[in-house]
Amino acid sequence: MENITENTTDSISRASEAMAGRSACTAWNPDGHKGGMDMGERIFLSSPHMSDEGYELQYVHEAFESNWIAPLGKNVDEFEKEMSEKTGVKYAAALTSGTAAIHMALKAAGVGSGDIVFCSSLTFAGTVNPIIYQNAVPVFIDSDYETWNMDPEALERAFQTHRNVKAVIVVHIFGLSADMDRIGEICRRHNAVMIEDAAESLGSLYKGRYTGSIGDYGIFSFNGNKIITSSGGGMLVSDDQERIAKVKFWATQSREPARHYQHEELGYNYKMSNVVAGIGRGQLRVLEERVAKKKAICEFYRKELGGLEGVGFMPQNDWDEPNCWLSCITLRGKVRPLDIMTALEKENIESRPVWKPLHMQPFFRSYDFVGSHVAEQLFENGVCLPSDTKMTGEQMDRVAGIIKGVWR
Ligand SMILES: *Cc1c(COP(=O)(O)O)cnc(C)c1O
């Protein structure tokens, strides 16, 4: 084993960038997959997993049969209906990505130039970029150790020091629920719209309710690395019928109902295609199976790695029934995240650091941050372990064996 003792944040960034030569910047990528087919068996963090029954292809086939290879169409309408039934939210709009869904949620919430939007810092850039698209101003909020998500106390402090706060984007990172009762109460008291970024947490329950169904708006992603995928896509859900109708209008270039092309507002080309929606519908039918497997993977790691010196796991809360999208550990002892990532990569197994907080990203450095060092610490000490639902028992044993080997 190489004993790598550097532990600064920058060295983690550098080393993971070097490793990403093979595995790029999303948790799964086509190049890695191609290579993996040659070598037989690269083990991924989280990669697409179509149903054994072939549901996805059936729906795509229907689209072909009817020649409905277009944005809008039956699969799109049905996918929206099925997602709203699944999550218990009244209305849904199928869009091209989770990022587009956040963008439309912000616009629907009335966020515009100069407005402040509070946003979890420990997340993917897709959460925050749409704030900039709207010429609004993000303020990043730290995590707490109890949830790894937005710290309600930091949120409350942020409201004391900032005015014109229009909206709060609260993320359920890795499928763990944020402290929604407290965050919801704070948002209501300060008249801020609450947008839930449930891109990673489809199927996670907070006090028996689906994450994404609790805020004023919820968004989901069907990108290739998520718990289910449509090859790329997103969904915005809300109980506000008028706002969802408006989003569908904006997402189709704000085309007015007229015989000619008439436009009275800025528009976007954000509607999901009927083919993509077919894949999404098929995947939704196996969501619970995927959640069960992800949970089993998480339990397996707890059992196998729990006894190792310095290893901590993701938090467990009474209210929370996570989908376990990614299984992550933290390291407090002699073994550093890089030791584990290097050992796994040598065996053609993908792992990666916990998200680098947005307030530490060069592009977002000029924006305010409220909190201390929790998100930063999670980044410095965390590792996301292979959580692919296609992993066999044998492969899981191999991964655990390699990780345990680092302690020897
Ligand atoms: C993946 C992801 C997004 C963006 O979703 P896309 O469909 O890739 O645009 C947003 N937020 C979080 C937390 C994500 O993990």
Tokens of 255: 């085309």
Are residues 336 and 238 located together in one domain of the fold? no
**CB under 8 Å to 336, separation ≥6 — which residues?**
4, 5, 6, 7
Q: How far apart are CA 332 and CA 217, in angstroms?
A: 37
User: If you measure from the C-alpha of residue 386 to the centroid of ligand 1, how many angstroms do you get, rounded to a whole number?
Assistant: 19
User: If you measure from the C-alpha of residue 125 to the centroid of ligand 1, how many angstroms do you get, rounded to a whole number?
Assistant: 8
191: which strand partners?
Answer: none
Last residue of a domain, one of 256, 283, 310: 283
pLDDT of residue 164: 87
User: If you measure from the C-alpha of residue 4 to the centroid of ligand 1, how many angstroms do you get, rounded to a whole number?
Assistant: 32
Are residues 263 and 292 located together in one domain of the fold? no
Angle at 111 between CA 106 and CA 113, to 5 degrees: 130
**Among the atoms of ligand 1, which is closest to the Cα of residue 99?**
9
pLDDT of residue 40: 55
Q: Which helix (H) or strand (E) holds 362?
A: none
Are residues 148 and 272 located together in one domain of the fold? yes
**Among the atoms of ligand 1, which is closest to the Cα of residue 173?**
13
Tokens of 404: 């345990």
**Among the atoms of ligand 1, which is closest to the Cα of residue 172?**
13
Are residues 273 and 338 located together in one domain of the fold? no
**Strand 137-141 relative to strand 116-120: parallel, antiparallel, unpaired?**
parallel
Domain-located, residue 35: no
User: If you measure from the C-alpha of residue 394 to the centroid of ligand 1, how many angstroms do you get, rounded to a whole number?
Assistant: 31
Which parts of 109-221 fold into alpha helices (H)? 129-133, 152-161, 180-189
Are residues 345 and 380 located together in one domain of the fold? yes
Domain-located, residue 194: yes
Last residue of a domain, one of 242, 267, 283: 283
Are residues 87 and 159 located together in one domain of the fold? yes
Are residues 219 and 295 located together in one domain of the fold? no
Closest CA to 293 of 383, 352, 341, 228: 228
Q: How far apart are CA 343 and CA 1, in angstroms?
A: 7
| Domains of the chain: total | 2
φ and ψ at residue 75, rounded to 5 degrees: -60, -40
Domain-located, residue 231: yes
Ligand 1 pocket check: which of 45, 99, 384 to mutate, most ligand atoms within 8 Å of Cβ? 99
User: If you measure from the C-alpha of residue 212 to the centroid of ligand 1, how many angstroms do you get, rounded to a whole number?
Assistant: 13
334 annotated active-site: no
Are residues 216 and 241 located together in one domain of the fold? yes
Residue ranges of the chain with per-residue pLDDT less than 50: 1-12, 14-39
**Residues having CB within 6 Å of any atom of ligand 1:** 97-99, 123-124, 126-127, 171, 197, 199-200, 221, 223, 234
pLDDT in tens, 315-326: 999 999 999 999
Pick the residue whose CA is nearest to atom 11 on ligand 1. 127
Domain-located, residue 12: no
Tokens of 31: 């190049």
Domain-located, residue 335: yes
- CATH number, domain of 390, equals 3.90.1150.10
Domain of 206, in residue numbers: 55-283
Ligand 1 pocket check: which of 26, 129, 197 to mutate, most ligand atoms within 8 Å of Cβ? 197
Are residues 227 and 369 located together in one domain of the fold? no
**Among the atoms of ligand 1, which is closest to the Cα of residue 234?**
7
Tokens of 118: 């509070």
For residue 46, the SS3 value is coil
Domain-located, residue 22: no
Domain-located, residue 9: no
Last residue of a domain, one of 283, 306, 325: 283
Are residues 304 and 273 located together in one domain of the fold? no
Which residue among the candidates 86, 107, 166, 226 is catalytic per the annotation? Answer: 226
Q: How far apart are CA 119 and CA 150, in angstroms?
A: 8
- C-alpha distances out from residue 357 to 36, 120, 138, 157, 177, Å: 30, 9, 13, 19, 18
φ and ψ at residue 7, rounded to 5 degrees: -140, 20
Q: How far apart are CA 153 and CA 186, in angstroms?
A: 10
Q: How far apart are CA 169 and CA 194, in angstroms?
A: 6
**Among the atoms of ligand 1, which is closest to the Cα of residue 223?**
7
Q: How far apart are CA 337 and CA 356, in angstroms?
A: 13
Are residues 184 and 95 located together in one domain of the fold? yes
User: If you measure from the C-alpha of residue 366 to the centroid of ligand 1, how many angstroms do you get, rounded to a whole number?
Assistant: 23
Ligand 1 pocket check: which of 28, 122, 124 to mutate, most ligand atoms within 8 Å of Cβ? 124
- CATH number, domain of 221, equals 3.40.640.10
Pick the residue whose CA is nearest to atom 5 on ligand 1. 98
DSSP secondary structure letters along 270-310:
-BPBHHHHHHHHHHHTTHHHHHHHHHHHHHHHHHHHTTSTT
pLDDT of residue 28: 45
State the pTM of this model.
Answer: 0.91
Q: Which helix (H) or strand (E) holds 197?
A: strand 193-197
**Among the atoms of ligand 1, which is closest to the Cα of residue 200?**
15
- Beta carbons within 10 angstroms of residue 311's beta carbon: 20
CB 298 within 8 A of CB 324: yes
313: which strand partners?
Answer: 329
User: If you measure from the C-alpha of residue 127 to the centroid of ligand 1, how many angstroms do you get, rounded to a whole number?
Assistant: 7
Domain-located, residue 48: no
Are residues 233 and 127 located together in one domain of the fold? yes
